[in-house]
Every structure is written in structure tokens, then in C-alpha cells.
Amino acid sequence: MTWLITGGAGYIGAHVARTMMEAGERVVVLDDLSAGVPARLEGTEPWPVLVRGAVSDRRLLDRTFEEHEVTGVLHLAARKQVGESVERPLHYYRENVHGLTVLLEAVVDAGVRRFVFSSSAAVYGTPDVDLVTERTPCVPMNPYGETKLTGEWLVRATGRATGMATACLRYFNVAGAARPELADTGVFNIVPMFFDALTRGEAPLIFGDDYPTPDGTCVRDYIHVQDLAEAHLAAARHLGAEPAASGAAGTSGAPGEARGRDLTVNIGTGRGVSVREMADLVAEITGKREPAARVAPRRAGDPARVVASAELAAKELGWTARHSVRDMLTSAWEGWRLHHPGAGAR
């Protein structure tokens, strides 16, 4: 099989591309390089084919599917900043929903029979449960989450109508790096935000310490990016083992039910870590205990606790997370220091 990975030069996408290739899969990467970095794909043998362009470019998609005989797609390309999605909802719907629609049209016309969709825990919104299962109601709280949920609907509906085997992977909080050069270079998620503040000699911010949690700060489920990449490999092989149907699949049921050709699963660890615990561990690993993290007011819409149940992924994909939070932070700090010379100075 040949897998097209959209967004494959990005932080998560490059980990997925490398993992797929190291496992012997043939890979073609499609990336507009608005956030992707081609150098992330270097060092693999053979180096994956890189096609520069957007998923909304139908002519490019048609040519890519034909020239490289693509038989499956892992779709990771998307805009993903919650705050930006609130400020620019039309942009997010155009990029994440319209772009996916164009891609699916090309996939169907090319006869591609397997599709893995990069979704998000943002589809759940603010769930009031100890463990989020795939049956937990989806009530997204921002345009980003809405576009991911809409994307799931599009993918599942297309699969059911055409017989294409599909999997939607709902990521929880991603951190870490398999290699320093692959580290997240953006400052949008909690770990690089803490590193950035400490590098500038400022106190990392904790938003709220009066939540109904053991230490009053929000609790989240953090997943190492390499574990996430291996989940994509497991999903790809799960779909690859499915017979390629020629007509409508005729499947039904709620998301999260195991139906072979139509799977939606959480990708997390099932273990919650508080923001305060993260801040303390960051201080220990970096050696930067001063200035200490300080508390700021709560951010609107932040739920107290969001932790995944990963039982379905284990059952259906044979996948479980292997890395600890310490692994995530240690590898992320190595990557941060590589990309920010002098950050390790005390």
C-alpha cells in the first residue's frame, strides 16, 4: 500500500511519516509548508516523496493519487489553534471542512478505500465525567472543535456511502518528541508555553487554581507524540486488513462502536496530570525553579478534568501508550534547547 499523509511535514505529521516508513510502509507527504518543515522528513531511508500544496487543490490531489498510486490516506493537515478559531471561524471552516470535502471527493474518485482522520478531544467540549469514552456526548465549545466534529461526520458518512474503511482518532494533549529535531516549535500548547516563559526569565502561568481537583488546577491527559504516531500506524494497518468493499458498507451505530470499517477511538493514556504537577515537573527537568509558576484567573471554557478512556483503542487496534509524562517533558526540553540555543543556561 501507499499512504498519503497530509500535513506530513508538521510536528505530529512528521512523526507519523517517519513511523510509517520505519515500519516498511510506502509514504507520500502532502504539505503546503505553512507550518510544516521539510527538514523534519530528512534522515529516513528512503526519504518520503514530498508534494507541496494544499488539500483544497483538486488538480494537485488528482495528479498525486494517480502518479503515486495512493491506496490510503492519513489526513492530518488542519488549522488547530482554539483562540484563532474563535477570531477567524470562517477561515477555520474553509481550511478544515471545505479542504476535507475536496480531499474526500478526490479520494472517492480515485478509488482510495482507506482513510484515517486526525480528530481531537476538542469534540467533547467540557465533559463532566471522570473518563471520557467514545460515547461521551460531543458538545464542542469553539469553532476548532466544531470543525473536527464536522470532519468526523463527513468521513464516516463518506465511508458508509462508498464502502471506504475509515478511522477517526481523537487526540488528547500531545507533547514530547521522538528526536530533538522533530520537537514542537510552536508556542501554543502548555509544555512549550512553560518552556518559553522560563527561557525568557518569566513565571509560567497556571490559569486557575480553584477547580474541584486534588490541587485545584485543571487535570488533563497527556500523550507522547511517538505513541500517537504509533496509533496512526496501528489504525492504518487495521484498515489495511479490512477487505476493500466496492459498494456501500451498510454499517450503522454510534461513534465508538467497533464496526471494523468505521472506527472512532480516543488516543490518550487514561491517566490525568494536573497543570500544577506539570509545572513542578517542568521546573525539575529544566533546572529552572525560579521564577516559580504563578496563578492567573481561569480561562473561559476550561473544564476541570478531561481524561481519556483508551480501552477501545487497545481492544480494536492493539495499541496502548508506552511513554510517561517525564519522557514527554524530557524529550520536549531536549528539542526546545536544540531550537532555542541558550535556553538551558541557568
Give CA separation, 281 vs 204, 274, 284, 344, in Å: 12, 11, 5, 16
Cell numbers of 106, please?
Answer: 478526490
User: The sheet that has 219-220: what strands, in order across it?
Assistant: 273-274, 219-220, 305-306
DSSP code at position 135: T
Which residues are tagged catalytic?
144
Q: Residue written as cell 526569565?
A: 201
| Measured distance CA(200)–CA(195) in Å, rounded | 9
Which residues are bridge partners to 276 per DSSP?
A: none
Taking the CB of residue 302, how many other CB atoms lie within 10 A of it? 15
CB 112, CB 165: distance < 8 Å: no
Q: Tell me which long-range contacts 271-274 makes (C-beta under 8 A, separation of at least 24).
A: 271/221, 271/307, 272/219, 272/220, 272/221, 272/305, 272/307, 273/219, 273/220, 273/221, 273/222, 273/325, 274/213, 274/214, 274/215, 274/217, 274/218, 274/219, 274/220
SS (H, E, C) 8-75: CCCHHHHHHHHHHHHCCCEEEEEECCCCCCHHHHCCCCCCCEEEECCCCCHHHHHHHHHHHCCCEEEE
Q: Maximum distance among all alpha carbons in the chain?
A: 63
Q: Give the pairing type, strands 219-220 and 165-171.
A: unpaired
